[in-house]
Amino acid sequence: MQDQAEFRNFLDVMRRRRAVLVQSLLGAICVALVYLVLAKPTYEAESLILVDQAQKNLLAADPLRSVLPADNAYVESEVEILRSPALALAVVNQANLRDDPEYGPGPAPLDWALDALGVKPLAPETEFETQARVLDRFLDHRSIERRGLTYVIAIKVRADTPVRAAELTNMLAGLYVETQVDQKIAKSLEARDILKAQIETATTAVQDARAELDRINAQEQLELLAARLSDLETQSNLQVADSRIISPALPPLNPSGPSAAFVMLLALVGGVILGCSLVYISEVYEDGVTSAEQLADLVDAATAVTVPNVRGRARGHGAPWNLVVHRPLSPYSDAIRRLRASVDRGFSDTAQDAPAQAHVILVASSVPGEGKTALALSLARVYALDGVQTLLIDADFRHPSVHEYAGTRTEVGLADFLRAPDQHELPVLDDPKTDLAVMPGKRDAQLATDDLVRSRMFGTILSSARRNFEVIIIDSPPMMPVADARYLAGLADTVLFSVQYASTRRPVVRTAVRELMDAMPDTANMVTVLNRHQVFRPEYGDATDHKVQGFSKPTGAIRVEPPNA
């Protein structure tokens, strides 16, 4: 069960951060496409060599030995000889690869960095270092492999042009065969020199022999050695390599690299790895709240309510705050009603202290963009739809938007009235969808906004509203940027603290809650809201999404008999 929960949590994180994952994939694919367009194509030629000891000793006395095939150990030994740096160095010298622009030394990577910094290399590269760098590049461009368990060895060399690739491949194969013949000749000549020394010793023995029998034996030994020497000299001139080229390299028609399929596959894998890494880093850095349990533990509040994200999912009913009117059985509407139940539960605990006063609810958040205005309007409409006399006050004077969300227009706002009460009437608008009363804010740039909410006139307005309404909801500015909400919290009976799902960092939430707690009255309580919770669950009981199927025609009256006495 724990593994399943962790897997669901992983999928939830990937879904929330899918934009990062998609961007990483697209970035990796773009880099791969640019590389495929700009990369210089390479060509790979192939030559095949057959390793076979049969019929190579032309003077062998035993004919059966001449037809024995090479064993696996011998073939593997030849593969290692082909891979030896000595044979590759012979190709480097014969092809003069030091002057080749592809294999030539060129500037060292450190030289590029020093040149970019305007610093000259400390010491010039030696001849040995130049040769070693050219050899390493050629070794990287050539490939030697045995074809399965056969006696065939494939030699491959990559180059920038098809002709150059075939030329270097055939040169490597030819030098291998020539080296094999030279080694066999050198072995025969070495044996010849040994026999010559033995012949000289046998000649001296013949000359020094005193007895006739000793002289005859020494003479026979001398003749045998002379015959063997003649065979060796003949064999050294008839040496044939144990391996032969059965398929010389031809210039390839198509480039061997870069492989588009391999590059794109590598880009996809790299994009996924990079995306997952960035998602992990983002999750750790942002440290957002992703569950009501986390929010309750973080804030140490008794109640935490989750409100789902419905952006783009309203299906023709407009913004989320309209769902409580048009779709009362939607998950969003149910969440707002659960929120109201939590508020009412706290209100019932304190209502006995001031039964004749309206309940003031302050909707606050840490930073902008956490959906508190939508939350305030939705909750106010739920109260109004239930017949509760409700007033919604827009106290966010820097960015007032309640009247725009509600679909009303005004030329005068609460800020105008607070600044010049003798010149304006107190603005109170009717919500076009419910019986909700709305007091718009209107931006005011002439006074500090915290002066407006701390003014005596604002307190007078709130006291009058308490006598004429049952519920007053105040939409406040965010806590961290401005000081207004700190003063408004002192006037509230309940504070709804909105935290955007997986967005607001936990240290920011702690700081904002601590400051709110300090400003709230001792009798006030706090309800936390995890807003815009991005979970996809099947909707339950939303009648607007289903057609009610009735009877096509009456099937008869249904009679209910009263129970027997």
3-state secondary structure 492-505: CCEEEEEEECCCCE
Q: Is the peptide bond before 421 cis (omega within 30 degrees of 0)?
A: no
**498 near 263, Cβ under 8 Å?**
no
Q: What is the pLDDT of residue 194?
A: 80
List, in sequence order, every residue forming a beta bridge with 500; answer none if it has no partner.
Answer: 531
Question: Residue 309: how many CB atoms within 10 A of its CB?
Answer: 17
Burial class (CB in 10 A: 0-12, 13-18, 19+), 11: exposed
Structure tokens at 241: 């390599």
**54 near 69, Cβ under 8 Å?**
yes
> What Cα–Cα distance (Å) separates residue 469 from each residue in 215, 352, 476?
145, 17, 19
Taking the C-alpha atoms of residue 378 and residue 364, their distance in angstroms, rounded to an integer, is: 14
Q: Which residues contact 535 (CB under 8 A, 6 or more apart)?
A: 12, 308
Residues in the chain with pLDDT values less than 50: 55, 63-68, 313-316, 543-563, 565
Q: What is the pLDDT of residue 551?
A: 32
- Dihedral of the CA atoms 251, 254, 260, 266 (nearest 10)? -20
pLDDT in tens, 242-284: 788 999 999 999 998 888 899 999 999 999 999 888 888 877 6
Minimal CA–CA distance to 153: which of 256, 46, 235?
Answer: 46
- The CA R_g of the chain, rounded to the nearest whole Å, is 46
Taking the C-alpha atoms of residue 102 and residue 137, their distance in angstroms, rounded to an integer, is: 9
Structure tokens at 43: 């060509």
How does DSSP assign 442-457, residue by residue?
---SSS-HHHHHTSHH
Q: What is the pLDDT of residue 350?
A: 58
Tokens 């061997």 sit at which residue?
256
Taking the C-alpha atoms of residue 156 and residue 133, their distance in angstroms, rounded to an integer, is: 20
* SS3 state of residue 496: strand
**Beta-strand pair 243-247/43-51:** antiparallel
Question: Residue 356: how many CB atoms within 10 A of its CB?
Answer: 7
Residues in the chain: 565
E strand or H helix at 563: none
> What Cα–Cα distance (Å) separates residue 116 from each residue in 91, 105, 113, 298?
34, 19, 5, 52
pLDDT in tens, 341-360: 999 987 766 555 555 678 99
DSSP 8-state code for residue 104:
S
> What Cα–Cα distance (Å) separates residue 360 from each residue in 45, 400, 456, 465?
84, 19, 17, 10
E strand or H helix at 267: helix 260-286
* SS3 state of residue 289: coil
DSSP 8-state code for residue 391:
E
Structure tokens at 312: 């783009």
DSSP 8-state code for residue 42:
B
> What Cα–Cα distance (Å) separates residue 336 from each residue in 76, 246, 435?
77, 83, 18
**403 near 410, Cβ under 8 Å?**
yes
